[in-house]
Structure 1
Amino acid sequence: MYFKNDIEKIGNTIIYLADKIDDLSKTKLLKILYLLDEFSIKEFGLPFLNLKYEVWQLGPVSQEIFVDLSDDPIILKDYIEINTIENKRYIKPKKVFNDDEFSDNELDLLEKLTQAVKNESAYVLVNFTHKKDSLWYSTASRHNLIEKFQMGVKNSSNVELNFEEILQNEPVKLSIYNHHKKLESSLNGFRIC
């Protein structure tokens, strides 16, 4: 469930990425969205998109966005379209990027991350999110998922990543993040979408 401005921010983030990255695949997009949230939390104590991510075989995945990108988009229908070429799904913008939902810091982070990853393959980004010091790896290990993923007996889970873990040595950012989560929780009854 999202507020209208949440959907606008997610949609415009994807428009921005699709404009700047040639042949933006579904997998690569999912990794970049995760990295935006992780890097924003590490930098500012606040998520970029505020998506929930689960531990899947190919890394952290926002299930709602994954599902929306797997068929004709519903949540993001006003922002993007999906082109399928040789069984791969590529994201194309439907309209021009609008930065109304973004702070200057967010726009700067979006630009820096885009420049850093635009020429990397989805496979490289998957490997990056799987590093042994990553939140994905520690969570997957703690829940005994690594071996199941490697054996091919499991490709997803409902185990949610807890970003508080990456802020354990950052008390000010952790406080900001926890305050944000508390505020978000109090607003859940007002979500319209």
Structure 2
Amino acid sequence: MHFKNDIEKIGNTIIFLADRIEDLSKTKLLKILYLLDEFSIKEFGLPFLNLKYEVWQLGPVSQEVFVDLSDDPIVFKDYIEVKSIDNKRYIKSKKEFNDDEFSDNELNLLEKLTEAVKNEPAYVLVNFTHKKDSLWYNTASRHNLLEKFELGIRNSSNVELNFEEILQNDPLKLSIYNHHKKLESSLNGFRVN
């Protein structure tokens, strides 16, 4: 559940990516959204999109976005459409990108990350998020999920990633992040369904 401007920011982020990445698959999009949040938290102490990510077999996944992209989008219907080609889902924009919800730093991060990953196949991004000592790897390991994923016993979990872990050696950014989470928690009563 998000504020209207959160949905606009996520929707416009997806538009930006779909317009600049040829054949943007659902899997690749989900990895890029995660990387935007992780890199933004590492750089500024604040999430880019403020999504929650769970430990799934193919890496960190925002269940909300995954579900909306698994069929015809509902939450993001005004922003994108999903096309199925050979049992893969590809994201196409429905309107022009609007940068009203983005700071200059966020636009810079979005442009740099897009340029860095646009020609990489989805599996490269999956491998990147799975690397040893990544937040996904450490969380999956702590919750005994790695072997279950490898054996195909499980493909998802409801274990949420805690971004505080990547800020343990940066007290200032950790303080900024915790302040953001506290503010977000106090605003939860005002979220729209």
TM-score of the alignment, normalized to the shorter chain, above 0.5: yes
Give the 3-state SS of the residue equivalent to 1:90 in structure 2: strand
Question: Which residue in the other structure is 1:182 paired with?
Answer: 182
Question: Which residue in the other structure is 1:171 paired with?
Answer: 171
Using the TM superposition, give the Cα deviation of residue 133 of structure 1 relative to its aligned residue in structure 2, in angstroms. 1.6
Question: Number of paired residues?
Answer: 193
The aligned amino acid for 2:27 is T
Using the TM superposition, give the Cα deviation of residue 192 of structure 1 relative to its aligned residue in structure 2, in angstroms. 1.3
TM-score, normalised to structure 2's length? 1.00
The aligned amino acid for 2:102 is F
Using the TM superposition, give the Cα deviation of residue 71 of structure 1 relative to its aligned residue in structure 2, in angstroms. 0.2
Question: Which residue in the other structure is 1:37 paired with?
Answer: 37
2:19 aligned with 1:19, yes or no? yes
What does the per-residue CA deviation read over 1:75-125, in whole Å, with 9 as the maximum and x for residues that have no partner? 101000001100100000000000000000000000000000000000000
Using the TM superposition, give the Cα deviation of residue 53 of structure 1 relative to its aligned residue in structure 2, in angstroms. 0.1
- What percent of counterpart residues are identical? 87
Give the 3-state SS of the residue equivalent to 1:10 in structure 2: helix
1:38-53 matches, cutoff 5 A: 38-53=38-53
Using the TM superposition, give the Cα deviation of residue 23 of structure 1 relative to its aligned residue in structure 2, in angstroms. 0.2
Question: Which residue in the other structure is 1:61 paired with?
Answer: 61
Question: Which residue in the other structure is 1:99 paired with?
Answer: 99
Gaps of 5+ in 2: none
What does the per-residue CA deviation read over 1:139-172, in whole Å, with 9 as the maximum and x for residues that have no partner? 0000000000000000000000000000000000
TM-score, normalised to structure 1's length? 1.00
The aligned amino acid for 1:35 is L
Question: Which residue in the other structure is 1:74 paired with?
Answer: 74
Give the 3-state SS of the residue equivalent to 2:5 in structure 1: helix
Question: Which residue in the other structure is 1:125 paired with?
Answer: 125
Question: Which residue in the other structure is 1:140 paired with?
Answer: 140
Q: Aligned equivalents of 1:182 and 1:73: distance in 2? A: 30
Q: Aligned equivalents of 1:149 and 1:21: distance in 2? A: 29
Q: Aligned equivalents of 2:143 and 2:82: distance in 1? A: 34
Give the 3-state SS of the residue equivalent to 1:160 in structure 2: coil
Question: Which residue in the other structure is 1:111 paired with?
Answer: 111
